[in-house]
Amino acid sequence: MVRPETPKGVVLVLMPIGRDAATVAKLIERAGLRPVVCNTLQEVIENLEWVIEVVVVAEEALYGNNARVLEDWVGRQPPWSDQPFVVLTNRNEGGKFAAFRRELVIRLRNVGFLERPLQAITLQATVLSAERARRRQYQTRAYLEAQRGASAELERLVAERTADLERANSQLREEIAGRERAQAALLQAQKIEALGQLVGGVAHDFNNLLMAVIGNLDLLSKKLGEDARLHRLLDGAMEGARRGATLTQRLLAFARKQELKAQATDVRSLVEDMIGLIDRSVGPMVRIELHAEDNMPVVDVDPNQLEMALLNLAVNARDAMITGGVLTIGLSEQIVDIDDQLGVQPGRYVVLSVRDTGEGMDAQTLARAVEPFFSTKGVGKGTGLGLSMVFGLAQQSGGALRLESTPSSGTTARLWLPVASETSPPSGRAPNIVTQASAPAKILFVDDDLLIAGSTVDLLEDLGHQVIEAHSAIEALRLLESGLAADLLITDHAMPGMTGIELAREVRRQYPRLPILLATGFAELEGSEVVDVARLAKPYTQAQLATEIAHLLPNGRDGF
């Protein structure tokens, strides 16, 4: 049998009769090819399974049905193959032979006929040309195989890339969803921020107006005499103004512009102290449970505002549980690390949670719950400022408010409060200063708002003080420079040009012994600006004003 990797072209020779096979083989060998002589057609077919260039076969070997076997093999060839046969004929011109040869062409397809006796050159040229044609077929096969391999590789690459793309795509989808969530949260935060700006500005102006109203009502009440009916009218007006002031305080709280007196506060004892009040507020249908971890660290927060926030949350819980339920107040310590989505600085927090088993909120209500004036409680029942206040307090204290709610199963509000640093002021409420009348003093009063200035001057004069008015910081400094011997400086903060803080700083430098009282409508005091001076939150009553002055001028002063 022939080895497949034969470098020379293999030519099968089948000439079973006589000694022609040896002669033909020799001629083929001389042409540079490698003849393999077969004795039967079966042997030829077996050898055809290897790499064979040409088959030289004597016509008589194919007579009868013999060609059929070859025909089967020819029919099974792959598409690239068209095996060349060289058939050596006898000079026999009869019609029978002609028909036989036509038949051969159909059966074996690629057939060349050479008539015997052969000329050496004719045989060699024919076999060589057939061999070249056959080699080209093998080249085509190699090319096709390479192409098949390449396309399989291509398919594998395409599949790989498709999987890669699929992965990248789903990652992208996830990222887009994440970005959309973040964007929605940002939008919500921006909306609240814009609302805060708006509300803060309006509340500040209202606060100033209320300042004038309360101040003048205060004075009026003293001058009214004994008429009880007039006093009732005045009390009504005063009550209205006070409620207005409470409202503006809550608005300022939402806008993060209230004066916070943050101090190291033990939330657990604050909550425990409030349980009685909460119990009375929520009524007998609601059971209260307190779950607090032991050894809670103290937090940095304004305790009065925190009490207010807790009460707001408790009242909301009560309103959501009209047929009764359980109000659970929880206290736990939590560490926030950088990856946290809370929007607070990494660090230690105490989380105060207020959970109810009430009606809960749908997604739309939940999304708007902290907006100021958003309420579902009907006219006169809710102002929609409870959660706004809690939100503002949380933000301004460096914490966060999170609400979770499921309709008809309940709501949990979580208030994150930063654990106090070691430098936080110690806990304990500021002692109540006993109101005491101070000796008449000379007071330099600075406010750019004529309405407020007028009413405060009246209040001060009514307390027996002598008041010198200035309408700007510059004017006040000029008065001091010109030798005004004041006992006390009372100044507004938000003024065009030089602010109250800047004035206080300058006065401190030049007249260190002159006491200063800073009246502020809101905490617009940036950290770097803070000067350690007494503060008075607007709107103030005459009594509050008197208390602060008494505190600053305990024994009366004779100027400095």
Ligand X SMILES: Nc1ncnc2c1ncn2[C@@H]1O[C@H](COP(=O)(O)OP(=O)(O)OP(=O)(O)O)[C@@H](O)[C@H]1O
* By CB under 6 A, residue 404 contacts ligand X: no
CB 376 within 8 A of CB 258: no
| Per-residue tokens: 274 | 């409030």
Residue 356 per-residue DSSP state: E
Position among 244, 330, 384, 454 found at the interface with ligand X (CB under 6 A): 384
Q: How far apart are CA 545 and CA 303, in angstroms?
A: 23
The residue nearest ligand X at its CB is 386
- Residue (237 or 311) nearer to ligand X, CB: 311
* By CB under 6 A, residue 361 contacts ligand X: yes
410: β partners:
406
Compose the 87-126 pattern: x for residues touching ligand X by CB under 6 A, - for all others: ----------------------------------------
- Residue (340 or 362) nearer to Mg ion, CB: 362
* By CB under 6 A, residue 356 contacts ligand X: yes
Which of the listed partners (Mg ion, ligand X, none) does 320 bind, with a CB threshold of 5 to 8 Å by partner kind?
ligand X
Q: How far apart are CA 156 and CA 165, in angstroms?
A: 14
Burial 125-139 (b: 16+ CB within 10 A, else e): ebbbebbeebeebee
Which of the listed partners (Mg ion, ligand X, none) does 369 bind, with a CB threshold of 5 to 8 Å by partner kind?
ligand X
Q: What is the DSSP track for 69-99?
A: HHHHHHHT--TT----EEEEE-S---HHHHH
* By CB under 6 A, residue 353 contacts ligand X: no
Which of the listed partners (ligand X, Mg ion, none) does 137 bind, with a CB threshold of 5 to 8 Å by partner kind?
none
Alpha-carbon 269 to chain mean position: 37
Site for ligand X in 300-319 (CB under 6 A): 312, 316-317
Q: Minimal CA–CA distance to 293: which of 328, 331, 349? A: 331
Position among 16, 382, 398, 440 found at the interface with ligand X (CB under 6 A): 382
- Residue (389 or 457) nearer to ligand X, CB: 389
In whole angstroms, the minimum distance from the beta carbon of 500 to ligand X comes to 32
Which of the listed partners (Mg ion, ligand X, none) does 211 bind, with a CB threshold of 5 to 8 Å by partner kind?
none
Q: Give Dmax over CA atoms of the chain in angstroms.
A: 159
* By CB under 6 A, residue 385 contacts ligand X: yes
- Residue (316 or 547) nearer to ligand X, CB: 316
Q: Minimal CA–CA distance to 460: which of 434, 493, 485, 487? A: 487
Distances (CA, A) of 472 to 29, 498, 508: 123, 8, 17
| Per-residue tokens: 317 | 């819980």
* By CB under 6 A, residue 330 contacts ligand X: no
Residues contributing to the site for Mg ion (CB under 5 A): 316, 386
* By CB under 6 A, residue 357 contacts ligand X: no
Contacts with ligand X by CB under 6 A lie at 312, 316-317, 320, 356, 358-361, 365, 369, 374-377, 382-388, 411
